[in-house]
Amino acid sequence: MQETTIQKKAVDVSDPVVDVLEEGAFHKVMLVFHVPAQWPAWVMLLLAAFVSGMLGMAWWQLATDLRLGMVVTAVMFIFLLSDMLLLKSLPGQGISFGPWQSQATALAVPRLLVALAAGILTVWLDNRWGFGLFLAAELLGTAALLWGAIIEPFRLQMNELMIYSDRLPSGAKPIRILHITDLHVERLTQREEAVLALAETAKPDLILITGDYVNLSYNRDPKTLAQVRQLLLRLSAVAEVYATLGSPPVDLRETVVPIFDDLPVTLMRQAWREVDFDDGRRLILLGMDCTHHLPTDEARFHHLVKAAPHNAPQVLLYHSPELMPEAMEYGLDLYLCGHTHGGQVRLPVIGPILTSSQLGRQFVMGLYKYDRTHLYVSRGVGLEGLSAPRVRFLCPPEITLVTLYAKGG
């Protein structure tokens, strides 16, 4: 790859006054459940005992069986206690580092709702059937938590796909692009080591990263920021790296942007860059900050794409899939993003519980093709922060190797 490239900044548009994500319902719910993060263990135990007792009283009234209500109280307390002990043990195992109190509180909600639903069923079912359903559901919840917290977050995959463009000269060698997104580093773990190992195996021509470098709980933590810098430096030894920023509440501009100072990594903010390989192949990279305020980001995108050349394959780096309608309009070749985590927790038949995208389930994960534009929404590498449990379910982490071929070549 030639050392000389061209980069030009597009006309900028002012940042929005309101942060869309911070004003969203999901973020506000996470903040509410984050309140217990500093509570001592004895308060959490008292809370678990209280809600278990309230559940037992509800069962007593529904099943008209005091003894059964007492058993439900004890069993529920054991399940809540097991969740707390598991979550509290994860930092020591180097698995995840979120506040166990707020995660345990969030996990208690579905447990209690399922238990209450089973109690209501005893109005029509035999009490033994109702209790059996309650016990089976709670055991299934424990199994899902063990899988989702300890196993699946480390089952990193490198998915490969082929894209064809008529803007790449016929007969040209394919271009290998490694896409990484949503690292959400708390502390460097075996997951980040796996990212590096797969990156070296892929032998890409360049690496493109589309934001969310830090976990929301650690975006001001000096150790986390230093470790993200270390990770980026090691990736830059594999191939040339181009990057954009993620969501404003996650990638705080005042803490994350300085990570890139003096790094051999190109941070693209409302800019296009022509990457010229030494054999005549070229790419036009378009990189943008993501604010999630669609009028702002759409205006910035229009300025950027109009300023950029169109005589080589165009690749958009933007954190979220929310600009896909605009990307289709301009016929971009490839649009790489993340943000949705693929839902992070997916249920059979139902699919993702949440996507955090203003487009809902329209673009959740994987490859989408409309006319000449290919969108790839990565499930990402890391996990959400604050009170969100550090789990993945039916949605393993990924990095993506995109091979760009000349159409008809």
pLDDT in tens, 361-387: 889 999 999 999 999 999 999 998 888
Cβ–Cβ < 8 Å for 336, 363: no
The pLDDT of residue 23 is: 81
The candidate with the shortest Cα–Cα distance to 30, out of 195, 213, 239, 249, is 249
Query: Are the beta carbons of 341 and 384 closer than 8 angstroms?
Result: yes
Residues forming CATH 3.60.21.10 domain(s) in the chain: 6-16+157-406
Amino acid at 190: Q
Strand partners, 405: 164
> Crossing angle for the helix pair 41-63 and 66-89, nearest 10 degrees?
150
Q: Which of 308, 177, 327 is nearest to 240 (CA)?
A: 177
pLDDT in tens, the chain (409 residues): 433 344 455 555 667 767 788 888 888 888 899 999 999 999 999 999 999 999 999 999 999 999 999 999 999 999 999 999 999 999 999 999 989 999 999 999 999 999 999 999 999 989 999 999 999 999 999 999 999 999 999 999 999 999 999 999 888 899 999 999 999 999 999 999 999 999 999 999 999 999 999 999 999 999 999 999 999 999 999 999 999 999 999 999 999 999 999 999 999 999 999 999 877 789 999 999 999 999 999 999 999 999 999 999 999 999 999 999 999 999 999 999 999 999 999 999 899 988 888 887 889 999 999 999 999 999 999 998 888 889 999 999 999 999 999 987 6
Cα–Cα dist 158/311, whole Å: 30
| Domain 6-16+157-406, second-level architecture | 4-Layer Sandwich (3.60)
Q: Which residues pair with 265 in a beta bridge?
A: 241
Q: What is the pLDDT of residues 211-242, one digit of tens each?
A: 999 999 999 999 999 999 999 999 999 999 99
Under DSSP, is residue 162 helix (H, G, I), strand (E, B) or coil?
strand
Q: Which residue type does 10 have?
A: A
Element (H, E) at 266: strand 265-267
